[in-house]
Structure 1
Amino acid sequence: MTRAPIFFRVDGTRQQGWESFWRCLVFAAALQRRRRPTYFLSQLDPPELVNNIRRVGNEWLEADALAGTPDDLEQIIQEIRRLSPAAVIVDSPHVTREYLEALQSTGVLVVTLDHHAALDFPSRLVINPLLGPSKEAYSFAPGAQALLGRRYALVRPEIRRLRPLRAQEPAQPFRALVALGDDDPHGQSLAMVRHLMSCHKIRRVDVAVRYHHPELPTLRALAEANKDRLEIAVEAPELAARIVRCHFAITAGNSWSLELACVGVPQLIVVQNEAHWPTAQRLEEEGAATCLGWHETVSAQTIRQAVVDLLADDQERQAMSRCGRMLIDARGPDRMVTALEVMLHPSRAVQTLARAA
């Protein structure tokens, strides 16, 4: 690859969470399909996450400080001068306007991935790959471009390939999938598995977690004791096989919810993060899911009753599947890369200089 690289500034730690890190990997994979080299400047915990970066051809640089701090700003500016990237993509809720302005002063195109809308963004390109907040909640600099909403949902290639395979609901007996996302901040996966295993209508339960999930050893022990009822999916190929066979999923209103909607999996959503409320509500409004509420207020009885009602209504599941597939078309990563390439085209620089003059 001889084109100028793209630089990602994102952390993935137990304190910061991993949602931003994993979605940046999806974006990087789409960039590599356009022959753009990619660099990650990141703090990672566990350290094995480095393998996920390098395995697919990305380069990793260890960050000395958390994103948004003065020490981090000094380091990233040094790396910008050394590598001369075409753009810097920042995905962290902890950066400030001054931090982004300092990056822009280097002359590089600054792109912000954000789903909080808590900042007055000076970035030239702002991307929200979830279903909310709306454009009205954001504050942009003059001339900035905003990519917001369902058309820019980040769907992994291995999930996108499942759309034709799950054009129809799989045969019974019923299978359920617990997929609470890259982060499970309140440790709900194990509890959800136990709720579903107590439902006699469900023959098998699959649970999808990342290999750094703190409850993974406990889940594996439970699966070992219930080999005929419970299976665990950690790697992407394992998850793909479970998605094709499941009849519904319990999710949390995050990017995994959008991926399952894209494939056509009916969902019951238990929200664990305030920032995911807009996505959960939009999925319910569009008919792709039922939002059960905030995780602290959703009881085991509420979950079991919602499961029973959903499994008893074939038409409701079919409608959810159809609405989800219509809402998310899996082309979000390609649209994001195209928008970035347009912003990087030399003609855009000429236009910017003309406006400044």
Structure 2
Amino acid sequence: MHILIRCDASLSLGSGHVMRCLTLADALAAVGCKVHFACRSGPGDLLALVASRGYEAHALSVPDRRSDFEAALPWQEDIEALWKALPAELDFAWCVVDHYGLGHEWETAVRLRARRVMAIDDLDTRRHAVDLFLDQNLSAQMRTIALPEVAHVLAGPRFALLRPAFANPRPECQGPIKRVLVSFGGVDAAGETLKVLTALADLSELQVDVVAGPANPHWTELVERCRGRPTWRLWQHVEDFAGLLRKADLSIGAGGGTAWERACLGIPSLCVSLAPNQRANAEALAVAGAHLYLGDAAQVSGAAYRAAVQTLQASPGLRQSLAARGRTLVDGRGATRVATALLGMELHLRPATFEDTRLLFRGRNAERVRQASVNTDPIGWEQHQDWLRQVLAQPERRLLLIAETLDGPVGVLRYDRQRGQGAEVSIYLLPERLGQGWGEHLLRCGEQAVQRHWTDLESIEAQVRPGNLASLQLFQRAGFLLRDHQLQLSLPRISS
């Protein structure tokens, strides 16, 4: 399945959009997708990095003349450049667009070559015409611009696009602050890194790691600032940024994507906004207790940085609280969930056959599946075979479905017809698919399949083992309502 990602990086725009799209691309490639990037070429474009990661990189040879990167691009010009850059015979199952300058007009036009469209956007300033929409910020619930009714929305840090390396938090540290990591992204055109280093100059007891990208215009000054300080190290390229961040007792950075990385690893942090689009989320993270927010970078002095570091040095309890709250908000599996949501729209359901006996036996007897089931007892092989024969012999009463995607089976749905116009659903995921967000997609696809099988069906019911909060929340996200201790989904009438 071919997927197109449209995003840009530049010296003024920064690298954040391309970097988070590379994370999503890795998750999609892991399940067999062929990912292509389309980016405007120019200084700091990261096209070479995209290609080095194994993805097709299509350069759009059209300059970006805007001074405000939240302003709209001339979308017709951009589409024409895209068509010129792409091979004429290449069409896409999906186009993912992560760009502050492109909105609903562009998304409508790209459907000439893409069957479905997904937008990644953390601003509330433009309309969208998409099938899937991602806003990974805490402020996502406050959006005011309406999305199309058909759009499936992924909102909040549960879907933060982080590399797998960030999924394992650092052990809780109760000692003093010994090591500080300073990073303001791949560009830092405003020179915030220099301001922080000036603030830390008098705190000689600290070991400081300074991460600045190759596009940083202040590189020479940073080299001078770190020279002669044996406990300071300047990094231009870090192969394992997660590993370096995990060693820090405190991190200082911006309110973009690295805010999620710091939270996920449980690193106490000081945060500023480098651009207006970072402000709302940085403030929301502070309200949630995940970091200390100092305000817009242009208004934060070196003295304010120094005072904040000293406050955290004197407050180990506050540091532990910031770390714990960050880990609660972000678990590091967002990229897998987003890829699952995208591929969930490609999910295929087929009727089970007796050839699926071993697949069903393995899935139903998996430890985590049994513990979440109403009946937690293991099923014997002979008993399982007899049960499957009975189910397959009663299509008028039972419907057993296998859900599959590009790289194989995902899970199982069973519908048992009840008296009247109702049915009861049972669901489980194969053990290797647990925790990836597939359950809701199975239930929604199954809803359509069971209505086609029994056209007079009016409702679906479900039972959840007492105390199984995860299953209860799954059914509620899929539209089931809890009524008299019973989960129920009412179905719309199908026109004859």
Same-fold call, TM cutoff 0.5: yes
Once the two structures are superposed, the pairs formed by residues 79-228 of structure 1 within 5 Å of their partners are: 79=86, 82-106=89-113, 108-161=115-168, 163=169, 166-169=170-173, 174-200=178-204, 202-226=205-229, 228=230
Q: Find the partner of 1:263 among 248, 252, 265.
A: 265
Q: Indicate the SS of the match to 2:326.
A: helix
Question: Aligned-residue CA RMSD in angstroms?
Answer: 2.6
Distance 1:215 1:311 in 2: 29
Tell me the residue number matched to 2:281.
279
Do the aligned partners of 1:19 and 1:183 also contact (CA within 8 Å) in 2? Answer: no
Q: Which one of the candidate residues 9, 12, 15 is aligned to 1:15?
A: 12
Corresponding residue for residue 70 of structure 1: 76
Distance in 2 (CA, whole Å) between partners of 1:68 and 1:35 is 34
User: Alignment partner of 2:298: what SS?
Assistant: coil
Describe the shift of the 1:224–1:20 C-alpha distance in structure 2 as closer, same or farther (beyond 3 A): same
SS at match of 1:305: helix
Match in the other structure for 2:253: 251
Deviation (angstroms), 1:233 = 2.7
Q: CA 1:120 to 1:346, structure 2 compared with 1: closer, same or farther past 3 Å?
A: farther
Structure 1 contact 25–53 (Cα < 8 Å) conserved = yes
TM-score of the pair, normalised by structure 2: 0.65
Q: Which one has a bigger Cα radius of gyration?
A: 2
Q: Distance in 2 between matches of 1:160 and 1:68?
A: 39
1:237 match: secondary structure = coil
- Does structure 2 conserve the Cα–Cα contact (< 8 Å) formed by 1:197 and 1:229? no
Q: Is the 8 A contact 2:124 2:143 kept in 1?
A: no
Q: Could you say if the C-alpha distance between residues 316 and 47 of structure 1 is closer, same or farther in structure 2, counting changes exceeding 3 Å?
A: closer
Residue identity (%)? 25
Residue 215 of structure 2: SS of its match in structure 1? coil
Q: Distance in 1 between matches of 2:333 and 2:34?
A: 21
Residues 133 and 278, structure 1, Cα contact 8 Å, conserved in 2: no
SS in 2 for 1:115: coil
For the structure 1 residues 183 and 344, does the alpha-carbon distance in structure 2 shift closer, same or farther, using more than 3 Å as the test? farther
Unaligned 5+ runs, structure 1: none
Structure 1 distance, partners of 2:129, 2:119, is 9
Larger deviation, residues 259-268 vs 34-43:
34-43
Question: What's the counterpart of residue 317 of structure 1?
Answer: 319
CA-to-partner distance for each residue in 1:21-60, whole Å, 9 max, x for gaps?
1111111111111111111111244468233212221111
The separation in 2 between residues aligned to 1:21 and 1:190, in whole angstroms, is 25
> Whole-Å Cα distance in 2 between the matches of residues 137 and 128 of structure 1?
13
Identify the range of structure 1 (125-134 vs 281-290) with the bigger mean alpha-carbon deviation: 125-134
Please say if residues 119 and 139 of structure 1, whose CA atoms lie closer than 8 Å, have aligned partners that are also in contact.
no
CA distance in 2, matches of 1:261, 1:253: 11
Give, in angstroms, the shift of residue 300 of structure 1.
1.9
- Residue type matched to 1:191 in 2? K
Task: Give the deviation of 1:7 after TM superposition.
Answer: 0.5
CA gap 1:103/1:80 in 2 versus in 1, 3 angstroms:
farther
Task: Tell which deviates more after alignment, 9-18 or 272-281.
Answer: 9-18
Bigger RCO (CA 8 Å, 6+ sep): 1
Structure 1 CA distance, aligned partners of 2:44 and 2:255? 27
1:74 is aligned with what amino acid?
E
Q: Which residue of the partner structure matches residue 474 of structure 2? A: none
Kindly provide the CA deviation profile for residues 280-303 of structure 1, in whole angstroms up to 9, marking residues without a partner as x.
112111211111111122222221
How far apart, in 2, do the equivalents of 1:117 and 1:234 lie? Answer: 34
Deviation at 1:77, TM superposition (A): 4.2
Unpaired runs of at least 5, structure 2: 65-72, 350-444, 453-491
Q: Which residue in the other structure is 1:30 paired with?
A: 27
What do residues 297-348 of structure 1 show as CA deviations (whole Å, max 9, x unaligned)?
2222221111111011111111111111111000100000000001234677
Structure 1 residue 170 displacement after superposition: 7.6
Question: Of Structure 1 and Structure 2, which has the larger fraction of its residues in strand?
Answer: 2
Instruction: Write 1 or 2 for the structure with the bigger share of helix.
Output: 1
